[in-house]
A = this chain, B = another copy of it.
Amino acid sequence: MPFVRIDALRADGRRLEALGQAVHDALVETIGIPYNDLFQVLTSHDGTQGVVRYGDYPGVRRDDDLVFVSITMRSGRTADQKRALYRRIADLALGYAGTEPRNVFVRITENESIDWSFGDGVAQYAGLEQQPNGERR
């Protein structure tokens, strides 16, 4: 279910794949996403048709290796799960893509079970409840 969008500057396909895999493995490890529950759009911006702008708020030294990770998922994950997720994304982005933790920016947007159709014109999650621990019934 998580839908992941990653935006980076002048990244080749190999770096994009590595970053995508880092985020996916972190989701699997920290909040129990099934391994085949993978939906990602990864974009490299060239600096002219696609521009990335950033500051150093809140005291983080970034450079053009900056990666924006946007995750949409159902509500129900705890604060501790999200903290573990951020930690693990940063670790794996370094391990898989050599991207330093200071350059990994993550934001989460939540919606509900009825807000997903995984194909076939059906709302597969409709009626499913989300357990506080992130597992599905």
Contact = CB atoms under 8 A, between A and B. Distances in A.
Nearest to A90: B121
Nearest to A109: B111
B111 A108 contact: yes
A93 to B, nearest CB: 9
Contacts of A106: 116-117
A22 to B, nearest CB: 11
Interface in A84-99: 86-91
Could you say which interface size class chain A belongs to?
35 or more
Interface in A54-71: 54-58, 60, 62, 68, 70
Nearest to A42: B51
Contacts of A119: 60, 62, 90, 101-105
B39 A121 contact: no
B36 A57 contact: yes
Nearest to A48: B13
